[in-house]
Structure 1
């Protein structure tokens, strides 16, 4: 029978804590992006270099002495980790970790942990906010009233905001969900509560077999009025929504990307919005972040005379932020790092956080 610490009956094995490198009496943490989330109090001894913000060209030099590196969204590449000979743990203080080179970490014997499902409620609620802001044209109306006398002169902004007729209400919507993990399922729950009468969960694009409870990808594209993108960014999902898909959509379609930039082709989306082929779009994420004028076709540089993309809202990758999310991120990150230091990576309480360990890719 495997060792079962603390009376646990699941049979997980307590490992020896990883030995510290020669010359180290305790772990040395390099925290690359303290600007996002403060760390919880850690119950093990360590030294730390903490940086509010780190630029890509600074990573390699900063992590050289680290046994543990904590990142949030910045990509710590293999070329950076090559400069950190003592690195044992890469702790991603976020749910998304598509940028992590897992095969490299497995080969190097570097453990990787993340904080799964910490932001489900916050991102789901943010989607609802972007949905109403987009359907109701709230940012555009706010800007018009604050910067012009158009409302005073016309007595109503409704015809300008909705020239093709009033916007859809919740009871007229068909929600298309692209990505049906915990986040997609929670968004479905919220939308059904708002009165959405139909929800279509998309099968993988190009799949010959449609699983029970799913709908063919092309049918979802053709039928839905509001799309929420919540799938992982992987090679097969880059440009998942491209010009062909945008051309298939209904004119009242609203596209909301809550996942990662690049899943929706930004140039194709900008073109569709400029041509009025779909109702609108919103995104919490962009292909290039941080973003601003001139960094993406969706954000043209108006100071250079470039044409604005109409009916597009961007919220600067803040959907995850809430008091609950921050607390959850801190707790999961603390528990995962502590389990690594104590040799408890097989503990069922933390296994869901483990992406790479013992030279193997776990998830």
Structure 2
């Protein structure tokens, strides 16, 4: 790395990384084509495309790869140990909390992701979950579709909202946990909708409160709606647990559009069953994919397990939109091409690079 005349560090020019012995072109293994197709790649390559890859299939599938493309499949160090020629791990997503960056740096494996590609879609999904949860749209829809209760009673309001009318935007105090590009986008949308107040959480356990932030515990006590948008890291696992749920207001609505495991699922299921908070919605689970019996949030009612009320679960689809797919494809193509051509210093792709040249460039 060199230093320019302004004292700023710049990546030094590079030549294309040499291919391993016996390789005439890069060999790509795409582990999860089920989510979206790749853009056309402008460099010579061979490719194995798998619609879906389970954890026990990864090591065998990537053993001859120089480039591996994953979306959410956790490519572990033990898998990469089986891939001696691996040079690039390309994450076809924004989130990459599962990547073992120190291992990749030590191995000399470059890691790239697609930052901010899904911000508009995920922030809009938050609004969808907010209105569906606060208005209990799914509950009303099911009653109307499956019974004549509305016909007989002429009103479902007391049935659906026994605690009284729901809050409107002008009465909401939103608490945002995680203030990156997504948190800022949600903040802007909620201001535009007329939320009474938007608060930004300081880190849990912080001794000093930064300007413009609110202490974590104060935010938990004050807010009526919570938007979880922080990365999943060791210090954010179970960030919201039984203690925090007990601190929340009875009209609190908790929405997680970040990653599973940040909200303790057993604690949330218990709080909802006991009616301690108004409701919750999540687009993510600790273990995905999920279904009946795989998480406390999705009990198997056919086996007599108690259903969790006032909860909406969507199948990690917040990112899914035409604009997100186009951005993911373009960013992924450009980052891989820059790697193959030895242009990782190029300003147009720097934001994608998490690990390169034996160094960790960004954590999230």
* Alpha-carbon distance in structure 2 between the residues aligned to 1:160 and 1:270: 21
Question: Is 1:68–2:67 an aligned residue pair?
Answer: yes
- Structure 1 unaligned regions, length at least 5: 5-9
Question: Number of aligned pairs?
Answer: 358
Give CA deviations for 1:58-92 in whole Å, capped at 9, x if unaligned: 10000011000000001000110111110000000
2:182 counterpart residue number: 183
Report the Cα distance in structure 2 between the residues aligned to 1:37 and 1:355, rounded to whole angstroms.
Answer: 22
Superposed CA deviations along residues 137-162 of structure 1, whole A, max 9, x for unmatched, are 00111111111111112111110111
User: What is residue 225 of structure 2 aligned with on the other side?
Assistant: 226
SS at 1:313's partner residue? strand
CA deviations 1:156-201 (Å, max 9, x no partner) are 1110111111000000000000000000000000001000020110
Tell me if structure 1 keeps the 8 A contact 2:60–2:82: yes
Change (3 A) 1:2 1:177: closer
Q: Which residue of 2 aligns with 1:7?
A: none
Q: Distance in 2 between matches of 1:235 and 1:160?
A: 41
Match in the other structure for 2:308 = 309
1:237 is paired with a residue whose SS is: coil
CA distance in 2, matches of 1:251, 1:3: 55
| 1:253 equivalent in structure 2 | 252
Q: Distance in 1 between matches of 2:230 and 2:3?
A: 38
Distance 1:196 1:204 in 2: 23
Runs of 4+ in 1 over 2 A off after TM superposition: 1-4, 10-14
Q: 1:11 to 1:305 in 2, by over 3 A?
A: closer
Cα distance change on mapping 1:3 and 1:265 into 2, 3 Å: closer
Report matched runs for 1:74-93 at 5 Å: 74-93=73-92
TM-score, length-scaled by structure 1: 0.97
Structure 2 gaps, min length 5 = none
Report whether the alignment pairs 1:356 with 2:349: no
On the 8 A contact 1:171/1:195 being kept in 2, the answer is yes
Equivalent residue for 1:337?
336
Match of 1:120? 119
- The residue aligned with 1:296 is 295
Cα RMSD between the aligned structures? 1.4
Q: 1:150-165 counterparts in 2 under 5 A?
A: 150-165=149-164
Matched ranges for 1:193-272 at <5 A: 193-272=192-271
Q: What SS class does the counterpart of residue 96 from structure 1 fall into?
A: coil
Distance 1:2 1:256 in 2: 44
Describe the shift of the 1:265–1:2 C-alpha distance in structure 2 as closer, same or farther (beyond 3 A). closer
For 1:205 and 1:153, the matched residues in 2 are separated by 50
- Give the structure 2 partner of residue 323 of structure 1: 322
Task: Note the C-alpha offset of 1:319.
Answer: 0.1
Query: Hey, what's the Cα distance between the residues in 2 that align with 1:158 and 1:306?
Result: 27
Q: CA deviation at 1:12?
A: 4.9
Q: CA deviation at 1:11?
A: 6.1
In structure 2, what is the equivalent of residue 96 of structure 1? Answer: 95
- The residue that corresponds to 2:55 in the other structure is 56
Instruction: Give a deviation string over 1:19-75, Cα, whole Å, max 9, x none.
Output: 001111000000000011110111100000000111111100000110000000010
Q: Distance in 1 between matches of 2:244 and 2:310?
A: 18
Once residues 355 and 131 of structure 1 are traced to their aligned partners in structure 2, the CA distance between those partners, rounded to angstroms, is 32
Structure 1's 361 and 224: CA in aligned 2 closer, same or farther, altered over 3 A?
same
